[in-house]
Structure 1
């Protein structure tokens, strides 16, 4: 079986790695990198660290408006598909790369496989929500990380081709956790002790593109009394400058974006994680670290229902209160994201086994 895999952003590199390892043992994979994340620190380092084969095609689309970026990807992915004539197209998650790949394949009558199908935040103002809903509705194979995701698809009338695979990010964390412990020097480099610091990530458009929300979050960060680390996304850095906001707290180390192994080490050793990332919420769950999510809703509702993740929006008071008072007893938390063998189940279904 010949599979074209389309990726374009950091979370997709992480998700693709375990599936590619299994897929290439039994089939042919053509890897297409759209260039949605085009910075070396946000892109190349993940291929190096995760032992993902170099992309067969790099589309170099780069940063554009949603419409322009998706349109450019759609046209370029279509060219690849016409040349390669794959048996199926494989996409991950909910980025513009995901939607562009799925639409290009669907219009050419190439079956689409969607890993991380069925996630819903129920906020149609989020570009990611539109991307994931549309991708699900054109997919032949829908690989769901949780029972909740399966139910969401059922509620939308999608039952054919739906598979409860578990979460490929659990596969990735399990595979890379020991490697991160051995290879990453981030804790010593930043002079950090385990369980002594907060880890902060901030990049989602609903926060960074809204000056009021971003100001509230920055206000909270500037009032933190705990030691904290913030690997600053290039986009967020630009928005802070645009809105004339400054992170000016001596307790907060603002650093360049880090690779996956360094990030994993920071997550595993943090005492709490503050984030607006979907992937980091799950990685916090796998690392058994309390997560404070600076959003009004999440597609990972299981983490909130189980009490490992608290939604605080962009309120600086809510953020600071959670930092001070939110605790989790992970001994009471069931494993809701599968058994760490999602990649094998996905490839088995694609191969018709």
Structure 2
């Protein structure tokens, strides 16, 4: 299938737009996980938007509208599907090295995706702060957002907050007050109003009792994170296992058992949260499950962002393979392993200058 989803900018012509939409519909019919997160489908007959991997019956072509971002679908009046859950889709947009405005928009999206920035300020102050970080005026930022995406920065941020809240409501037992604060809302009143306005639901209506995935002990609550296949699980877990720091990490590899466990210390809004996380790959489905201790639930959005970076879940395999395959055809599904935070990554990089991986790991354990 042609790769037609590099840029969120509107198509240059009506003909190319029709071609793009036909390609998207083919991916939707095939439930092709490679396109998960690359676009969303709004179904006019139901008023709901879905991921291309949604398991519901494929809608008729004339009832489908296609969007690059979830925020665009919500701005057009569609509500997120409660079955495929758009908040689980892989993120990250491809970068352009030619269009300066496109680069600016994509950098702004990355900043708005960072959970630590969600609750920094409210209203127009968000745009002013973001524009200052990017070195442009807030008027210019709003203008290029509207031209490239058809939505404002505030609309995009609101969707990110609401989808994060939706995941917390669905996958955790956190009180609604804590869900609102963890998702960047200044008050429960504003959270309830936004949720009802956008989704026509009361937040408590999303509460459910979900079954734990395979490999997770009974009764545990797990969050599922989407990824785009192919994904070389064995290669990435083997890399992490060779560098695990005993006493802090435990990595189990092997057929049917690809699991990482580690301790966590995370500061947020002046409070330090400690606990543990467990992450493993779901056999047969392109996703990773994440389980955390109760003490870390208030910072679940931040943890999800860090786990996605650690496992490189938002990578575009087609872009990787286009570079690797000519000289390394056996590298299908490779990813770039990350670290839990910047300080840890810096320390590992310095100690990694040792002669062997084992020597670097020994020094890291001593430290």
Pairwise same-fold verdict (TM > 0.5)? no
**Normalization by structure 2: what TM-score?**
0.30
Give the TM-score normalised by structure 1: 0.31
More relative contact order, 1 or 2 (CA 8 Å, 6+ apart) = 1
| Greater radius of gyration (CA) | 2
